């Protein structure tokens, strides 16, 4: 769906998302609480567009990184029973807002827990918290030497705190190189949760699994999972996909990926021009025509996430054919060689990520051209671009 005011636009496939959710729910178990991770503007898919889409597909729990994302998710939600959970940054001054709106949040330091108790007492409503335990990531998390203080605060203020969860995060579950470290974290989490239970503290949910750990370490699937990249149709990395296929040969027999890409990114031909042989195209002298060439301009550039490092190596799809970037990628436009693509005219669809005819530009291929992970490519798609839900 073209947008006359915008140089490009994003499409989100509802059927692809529904298929991903069906596969993932079947894998983790229908009784497991599925939390849809929508940090980073829903991995570039757009929080305000993605949340209602996910709700239509039955999702009622969302995980964000920070309070600003939580606020956007609350505004986007259309269902009264949807819950938002903050996994990372929330200033103590915003805790009251979270309590009032029933938003839960991770606690990984005593200061935040004390602030939660203070605000809950003042408001007269319990704060919904998740104890984030340090198990070896060494980034965020409650250290074991704080556990006794935590227990004391929880017991003394039980009417002001609702312990929604006890959780941790693994240090690179997508790579076999981190196997020993992850196994140590799994064991440590078991040890710590047993300690809390022995001291009379039990949570409503226990959750440690993200996409990578759920797919690589099934034992990390507890009664709740936090699934990010996989729900959007991407494996955390190729290694995860290969390991999964080895463990599930039935998938290999079908010769198809059970995850479908939800996002497509499209633009249009802005203009076309015949450039004689021996002429430079665009800024500088990075591209010299070797023959009379037809050049098309496309109104996207590095300001839109199509990086300058794609100069002379990037590819887009036009009229079902691969059109190589010819010349420097500019801030707001790029030039591509369409000499061998017949009948290209102004307004023709350009696919940056997605399918056109029998050709496809995947996020993985786009990522490899940029030397980025697919995560990075996705989150750099501008949030200002319109998103459309398609079947």
- Write out the catalytic residue numbers: 39, 283
**Close Cβ partners of 360 (under 8 Å, ≥ 6 residues apart):** 317, 354
**Close Cβ partners of 288 (under 8 Å, ≥ 6 residues apart):** 278, 279, 280, 281
Question: Could you give the angle at the alpha carbon of 138 between the alpha carbons of 103 and 232, nearest 5°?
Answer: 50
Report DSSP letters for 186-205, one per residue.
Answer: HHHHHHHHHHHHHTT---SE
**331 in a labelled binding site:** yes
Contact indicator for 47, 37 with CB cutoff of 8 Å: no
Give the C-alpha separation, 112 to 96, whole Å.
12
Does residue 106 sit in helix, strand or coil? strand
Q: Could you give the maximum distance between any two Cα atoms of the chain, in Å? A: 81
Question: Could you give the angle at the alpha carbon of 107 between the alpha carbons of 104 and 111, nearest 5°?
Answer: 125
φ, ψ at 12 (rounded to 5°): -120, 125
**Close Cβ partners of 163 (under 8 Å, ≥ 6 residues apart):** 129, 130, 131, 154, 201, 202, 203, 204
Q: Give the containing element (helix H, strand E) for 84.
A: strand 83-89
**139 in a labelled binding site:** yes
Give the C-alpha separation, 130 to 164, whole Å.
6
Residue ranges of the annotated binding site are 139, 331
Annotated binding site for substrate: 139, 331
């Amino acid at each position: 769906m073209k947008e006359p005011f915008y140089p490009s636009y994003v499409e989100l496939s509802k059927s692809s998302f529904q298929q991903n959710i069906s596969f993932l729910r079947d894998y983790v178990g229908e009784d497991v609480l599925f939390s849809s991770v929508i940090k980073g503007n829903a991995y570039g898919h757009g929080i305000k567009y993605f949340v209602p889409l996910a709700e239509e597909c039955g999702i009622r729990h969302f995980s964000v990184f920070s309070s600003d994302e939580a606020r956007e998710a609350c505004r986007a939600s259309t269902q009264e029973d949807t819950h938002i959970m903050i996994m990372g940054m929330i200033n103590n001054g915003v805790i009251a807002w979270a309590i009032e709106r029933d938003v839960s949040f991770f606690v990984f330091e005593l200061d935040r827990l004390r602030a939660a108790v203070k605000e809950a007492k003042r408001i007269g409503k319990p704060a919904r918290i998740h104890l984030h335990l340090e198990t070896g990531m060494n980034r965020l998390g409650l250290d074991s030497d704080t556990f006794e203080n935590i227990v004391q605060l929880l017991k003394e203020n039980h009417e002001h705190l609702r312990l929604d969860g006890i959780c941790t995060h693994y240090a690179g579950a997508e790579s076999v190189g981190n196997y020993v470290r992850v196994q140590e974290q799994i064991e440590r989490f078991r040890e710590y949760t047993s300690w809390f239970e022995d001291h009379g503290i039990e949570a409503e949910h226990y959750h440690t699994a993200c996409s990578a750990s759920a797919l690589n370490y099934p034992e990390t699937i507890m009664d709740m999972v936090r699934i990010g990249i996989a729900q959007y149709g991407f494996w955390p990395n190729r290694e995860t996909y290969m390991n999964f296929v080895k463990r599930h040969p039935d998938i290999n027999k079908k010769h198809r990926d059970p995850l479908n890409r939800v996002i497509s990114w499209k633009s249009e031909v802005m203009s076309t021009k015949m450039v004689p042989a021996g002429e430079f195209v665009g800024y500088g002298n990075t591209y010299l025509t070797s023959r009379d060439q037809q050049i098309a301009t496309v109104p996207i550039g590095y300001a839109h996430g199509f990086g300058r490092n794609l100069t002379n190596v990037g590819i887009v799809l036009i009229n079902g054919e691969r059109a190589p970037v010819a010349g420097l990628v500019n801030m707001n436009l790029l030039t591509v060689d369409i000499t061998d693509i017949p009948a290209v005219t102004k307004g023709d669809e350009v696919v940056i990520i997605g399918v056109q005819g029998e050709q496809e530009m995947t996020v993985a291929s786009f990522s490899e051209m940029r030397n980025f992970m697919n995560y990075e490519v996705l989150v750099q798609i501008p949030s200002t671009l319109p998103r459309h839900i398609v079947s």
